[in-house]
Amino acid sequence: MKSSFIIKRVLKYIMKYKLSFISSFVLTTVTTICSLYIPVLAGRAIDDIVGKGNVNFKSLMVSLSYILIALIAGGISQYIANIFNNKISNGTVKDMREEAFENLQNVPVSYIDTQEVGDIVSRVIADAEQFADGLILGFQNLFSGVMTIVGTLFFLFTINVWIALIVVILTPLSLFVSKFISKKTYKYFQKQSIQRGKATAHIEEMISNIKTVKSYHKEDKVCKDFDEINEELGRDSLKATFFSSITNPGTRFVNSMVYAAVGLGGAFFAVAGGITVGNLSASLAYANQYTKPFNDITGVITELQNAIACAGRLLEVIDAEPYPDKKGRLPENIKGSFEVENVDFSYDKSVSLIEGLNFSLKSGQRLAIVGPTGCGKTTIINLLMGFYDVDKGEIMVDGVDINTVSKKSLRQNMGMVLQETWLKSGTIRENIAFGNESATDEEIIEAAKASHAHSFIKRLSKGYDTYVGEDGGNLSIGQKQLISITRLMLNPPPILILDEATSSIDLVTEQRITRSFMKLMKGRTCFVVAHRLKTIVESDLILVMKDGNVVERGTHRELLSENGFYSELYKSQFE
């Protein structure tokens, strides 16, 4: 993403704060005028005291009074301008961060599946903060710097044209230096942001799976991998810092040449009587003021290079193609009948997975999907939930193609419990009520009793008000799965999807939950993915899958009587 394109996009966000932008511009102008007027007043004060016995005390006091007023007015204006600058910068980044997070809720699941979570987090949090810092610095120094340059030139030309020309002729050297260095800097700041994202992704991945790392004694290996990423980050950071750090000394050298030339030229004019001592003093002050913004601006440009690189990574998340959701809706009070006709699907279009899938399910019936790992069981669930779109064919719910309705309309009629449970940071009560925040305490407890989670929850330190950290904290996998099941039982929809829902629960609890599920499933269309075949013997239809294809279908008794693949799977679990 080109820096010019990024700047145009960022300006659109900034323009949302147009009033604050204009206020900041006006106040910065006032601050600059006050600071630029002080050398003129100081020059007058010097001329008022030059010469023995020629001190003009009345005029001197007036000049000093004006200097004090200019200092106070400039300070107040700068303080208020900084408040507006912070409002613009923080507001802009807040808007971009919110838009990025909202877009992440709308992108296809395939986008999330193909990205490193830590890198996405780094873009939305760390890169956004880096961008905010650069933007604030830009507003604070860029406006005032440009105005100071223009203002000092104006005053220099009013004092002495030749001195002003010396400044104008030598100044471009500073611009050439900063432009050359800034081109190098952007490239390395961009690399730095990418490596920072990789480091964040690695840390997030290893910490979230620390038990697996330790169980396989891979602490040294993951540390070595991190050291390699960190070393690369250090190299890119060093290069970015090196080029950015030589910008200021380079421009300072040029600016010192300008100041010396003004001093030398002004001295000749003063000796020849072409300029007063006070005006020479003012010219030197303006030369110093004139060169200072170049140091500030070049420093700002360096920071802006980093900010632009970070903004580009954040904009990539904002620009991620959202799922083109449809506006159609499923009928009210759907019955839950399914027709799956000639469905083809694969994650990698060069490798086939599911081909020619067909089945039908009446309202209130139960379909079980079984087969070895990687055969496509969970893929079918992903298609039914609309997480992925079919490559070919149709999935119909009550005669309506799910590809013609909004995903919200589809999923609000479905409830799902996965093998991989998820709990958010919060209390047990909040996690259970995640899908129905208006649920009463009595309803939550009743659902917990139905899922056999009530007993272990009451044993926790604060019961239902026990706080659990990210992904369930210290709860066992089985306990987290029970809470997930409770969440579903609190507000059961017409269609239930259970993907290895009891895989992490002991057999005794599983038997109890299965009885609760039986009550819950009554009158609801259900899809069950299970490895424990004993839990699906009462299903109305069983699909037996292998390598993405349905190799057998029928009821439990029918499949056993065929002595095929299902019979082998079933018998293998009891031998």
pLDDT digits over 231-266, tens only? Answer: 888 887 777 777 666 666 766 676 677 777 777 777
Percent with pLDDT over 90 in the chain: 2
Closest listed residue to residue 364, CA positions, set 524, 236, 252, 516: 524
d(CA 336, CA 378): 20
Closest listed residue to residue 290, CA positions, set 146, 139, 74: 146
d(CA 346, CA 354): 6
- 411 and 367 together in one domain: yes
Inside any domain, residue 39? no
pLDDT digits over 86-110, tens only? Answer: 888 888 888 888 888 888 888 888 7
- How far from chain centre, in Å, is Cα 253? 40
337, 397 Cβ separation under 8 angstroms: yes
- 368 and 515 together in one domain: yes
Q: What is the pLDDT of residue 179?
A: 64
- 367 and 515 together in one domain: yes
Mean pLDDT confidence for 27-40: 83
- 274 and 380 together in one domain: no
Whole-Å CA distances, 188 to 9, 130, 241: 22, 15, 9
Q: Is the pLDDT confidence value at 514 over 60? A: yes
Distant-in-sequence contacts of 208-217, Cβ < 8 A, 24+ apart: 208/471
Q: For 170-174, 228-232, 302-306, 544-548, which range has the lowest pLDDT when averaged over its residues?
A: 170-174
d(CA 231, CA 238): 10
Q: What is the pLDDT of residue 253?
A: 74
φ, ψ at 469 (rounded to 5°): -80, -165
Inside any domain, residue 76? no
pLDDT digits over 475-513, tens only? Answer: 877 788 788 888 888 888 888 888 876 666 667 766 766
Inside any domain, residue 306? yes
Q: For 87-101, 424-438, 507-521, which range has the lowest pLDDT when averaged over its residues?
A: 507-521
Please name the residues in contact with 57: beta carbons below 8 A apart, sequence gap of 6 or more.
48
DSSP 398: T
Residue 549's SS3 state is strand
- Positive or negative CA dihedral for 248, 253, 256, 257? negative
Kind plus residue range of the DSSP H or E element containing 195: helix 172-208
CATH value at residue 291: 1.20.1560.10
- Note down the domain range covering 133: 95-318
- 309 and 409 together in one domain: no
For the chain, the residue count is 575
Please name the residues in contact with 451: beta carbons below 8 A apart, sequence gap of 6 or more.
482, 485, 486, 489, 513, 516
Query: What is the number of domains present in the chain?
Result: 2
- 289 and 346 together in one domain: no
Inside any domain, residue 155? yes
- 345 and 269 together in one domain: no
247, 178 Cβ separation under 8 angstroms: yes
- 367 and 220 together in one domain: no
- 268 and 349 together in one domain: no
Q: What is the pLDDT of residue 218?
A: 73
Inside any domain, residue 5? no
- 424 and 533 together in one domain: yes
Residue 547's SS3 state is coil
CATH value at residue 556: 3.40.50.300
Q: 80: pLDDT confidence band, cut at 50, 70 and 90? A: very high
Please name the residues in contact with 324: beta carbons below 8 A apart, sequence gap of 6 or more.
none
Q: What is the CA radius of gyration of the chain?
A: 35
Inside any domain, residue 23? no
Mean pLDDT confidence for 124-148: 77
- 104 and 253 together in one domain: yes
Residue 554's SS3 state is strand
Mean pLDDT confidence for 266-273: 70
Compute, in degrees rounded to 10, the torsion defined by CA atoms 479, 482, 487, 492.
180
Residue 389's SS3 state is coil
Inside any domain, residue 323? no
Residue 520's SS3 state is helix
pLDDT digits over 465-476, tens only? Answer: 988 876 666 787
Closest listed residue to residue 141, CA positions, set 2, 324, 12, 297: 297
Structure tokens given for 75: 């300070």
d(CA 372, CA 545): 8
Quick check: pTM over 0.75? no
Mean pLDDT confidence for 546-560: 86
Inside any domain, residue 310? yes
- 278 and 360 together in one domain: no
Q: Which residue has the higher pLDDT, 574 or 191?
A: 191
Mean pLDDT confidence for 134-149: 74
Please name the residues in contact with 387: beta carbons below 8 A apart, sequence gap of 6 or more.
108, 109
